[in-house]
Amino acid sequence: MVDGDRSENLDGIFSAISDPTRRAILQQLGQGPERVTEIARRFPVSLNAVSKHLIVLERAGLVRREIRGRDHLCSLNGQPLREASAWIERMRGYWEERLDALERHIAAKQKAGRK
Protein backbone atom coordinates (compact mmCIF):
# COMPACT_ATOMS: atom_id res chain seq x y z
CA MET A 1 0.00 0.00 0.00
CA VAL A 2 1.60 3.17 -1.12
CA ASP A 3 -0.76 5.56 0.58
CA GLY A 4 -1.72 3.81 3.79
CA ASP A 5 -5.30 3.15 4.85
CA ARG A 6 -6.79 6.29 3.38
CA SER A 7 -10.32 6.79 2.02
CA GLU A 8 -13.56 7.49 3.89
CA ASN A 9 -11.83 8.62 7.02
CA LEU A 10 -14.08 11.61 7.28
CA ASP A 11 -14.97 11.08 10.92
CA GLY A 12 -11.39 11.28 12.00
CA ILE A 13 -10.51 14.15 9.72
CA PHE A 14 -13.38 16.43 10.67
CA SER A 15 -13.05 15.50 14.30
CA ALA A 16 -9.35 16.31 14.19
CA ILE A 17 -9.83 19.75 12.70
CA SER A 18 -12.72 20.56 15.02
CA ASP A 19 -10.28 21.41 17.78
CA PRO A 20 -8.86 24.95 17.67
CA THR A 21 -5.46 23.94 19.01
CA ARG A 22 -5.18 21.30 16.35
CA ARG A 23 -6.20 23.74 13.63
CA ALA A 24 -3.57 26.16 14.91
CA ILE A 25 -0.96 23.41 14.81
CA LEU A 26 -1.87 22.66 11.23
CA GLN A 27 -1.67 26.30 10.26
CA GLN A 28 1.68 26.67 11.94
CA LEU A 29 2.86 23.49 10.28
CA GLY A 30 1.91 25.03 6.98
CA GLN A 31 5.01 27.19 7.26
CA GLY A 32 7.11 24.04 7.17
CA PRO A 33 7.96 20.91 9.20
CA GLU A 34 8.83 21.26 12.86
CA ARG A 35 9.91 19.26 15.88
CA VAL A 36 7.30 18.41 18.53
CA THR A 37 8.85 20.51 21.29
CA GLU A 38 9.18 23.44 18.95
CA ILE A 39 5.50 23.21 18.04
CA ALA A 40 4.55 22.90 21.67
CA ARG A 41 6.44 26.01 22.68
CA ARG A 42 3.85 28.16 20.85
CA PHE A 43 0.89 26.84 22.81
CA PRO A 44 -0.13 27.45 26.39
CA VAL A 45 -0.50 23.76 27.14
CA SER A 46 1.94 21.09 28.16
CA LEU A 47 4.22 19.24 25.77
CA ASN A 48 2.26 16.08 26.50
CA ALA A 49 -0.98 17.68 25.44
CA VAL A 50 0.57 18.78 22.15
CA SER A 51 2.03 15.34 21.67
CA LYS A 52 -1.43 13.86 21.98
CA HIS A 53 -2.84 16.38 19.54
CA LEU A 54 -0.17 15.39 17.07
CA ILE A 55 -1.04 11.74 17.47
CA VAL A 56 -4.65 12.57 16.72
CA LEU A 57 -3.64 14.53 13.64
CA GLU A 58 -1.36 11.71 12.56
CA ARG A 59 -4.07 9.08 12.91
CA ALA A 60 -6.35 11.25 10.82
CA GLY A 61 -3.58 11.28 8.23
CA LEU A 62 -3.17 15.04 8.36
CA VAL A 63 0.34 14.92 9.73
CA ARG A 64 3.29 12.78 8.81
CA ARG A 65 6.19 12.11 11.09
CA GLU A 66 9.82 11.59 10.22
CA ILE A 67 11.89 10.36 13.15
CA ARG A 68 15.43 11.65 13.12
CA GLY A 69 17.28 10.40 16.10
CA ARG A 70 15.48 11.74 19.12
CA ASP A 71 13.63 14.40 17.14
CA HIS A 72 10.28 13.84 15.47
CA LEU A 73 9.87 16.05 12.44
CA CYS A 74 6.19 16.68 11.78
CA SER A 75 4.92 17.77 8.41
CA LEU A 76 1.59 18.15 6.71
CA ASN A 77 -0.21 15.76 4.42
CA GLY A 78 -2.70 17.37 2.08
CA GLN A 79 -4.65 14.30 1.04
CA PRO A 80 -7.15 14.19 3.95
CA LEU A 81 -7.97 17.86 3.47
CA ARG A 82 -8.73 17.10 -0.13
CA GLU A 83 -11.18 14.43 1.01
CA ALA A 84 -12.80 16.75 3.51
CA SER A 85 -13.04 19.48 0.93
CA ALA A 86 -14.51 17.05 -1.56
CA TRP A 87 -17.27 16.06 0.85
CA ILE A 88 -18.18 19.66 1.59
CA GLU A 89 -18.17 20.65 -2.05
CA ARG A 90 -20.29 17.66 -2.96
CA MET A 91 -22.80 18.74 -0.32
CA ARG A 92 -22.80 22.28 -1.51
CA GLY A 93 -23.31 21.03 -5.02
CA TYR A 94 -26.44 19.16 -3.97
CA TRP A 95 -27.87 22.24 -2.29
CA GLU A 96 -26.85 25.59 -3.70
CA GLU A 97 -29.41 25.21 -6.47
CA ARG A 98 -32.34 24.94 -4.16
CA LEU A 99 -30.62 26.90 -1.43
CA ASP A 100 -30.67 30.26 -3.09
CA ALA A 101 -34.39 30.36 -3.28
CA LEU A 102 -34.86 28.73 0.09
CA GLU A 103 -32.57 31.07 1.96
CA ARG A 104 -34.21 34.15 0.61
CA HIS A 105 -37.52 32.69 1.62
CA ILE A 106 -36.37 32.01 5.18
CA ALA A 107 -34.59 35.31 5.51
CA ALA A 108 -37.71 37.16 4.47
CA LYS A 109 -39.79 35.22 6.94
CA GLN A 110 -37.27 35.99 9.68
CA LYS A 111 -37.14 39.68 8.96
CA ALA A 112 -40.91 39.86 8.98
CA GLY A 113 -41.98 37.83 11.99
CA ARG A 114 -38.93 37.13 14.11
CA LYS A 115 -38.78 40.49 16.00
Partner DNA sequence: ATCACCGTCAACCATTTGGTTGATGGTAGC
Partner DNA sequence: GCTACCATCAACCAAATGGTTGACGGTGAT
Q: Rule CB under 7 A: which residues touch DNA?
A: 15, 18-19, 21, 35-38, 45-49, 51-56, 65, 68-72
**8 or 38: whose CB is closer to a second copy?**
8
When the beta carbons of 59 and 82 are compared against DNA, the nearer one is: 59
Give the one entry of DNA, a second copy, none that residue 71 binds, where binding means its C-beta sits below a cut-off of 5 to 8 angstroms depending on kind. Answer: DNA
In the complex, minimum distance from the CB of residue 38 to a second copy, in angstroms, rounded to a whole number: 17
Q: How far is the CB of 29 from a second copy (least distance, A)?
A: 9
Angle, helices 47-59/20-29, rounded to nearest 10 degrees: 80
What does the angle CA 90 – CA 14 – CA 6 come to, to the nearest 5 degrees?
Answer: 80
Compute the distance between CA of residue 25 and CA of residue 76 in angstroms, rounded to an integer.
10
Q: In what order do the strands lie in the sheet with 63-68?
A: 34-35, 71-76, 63-68
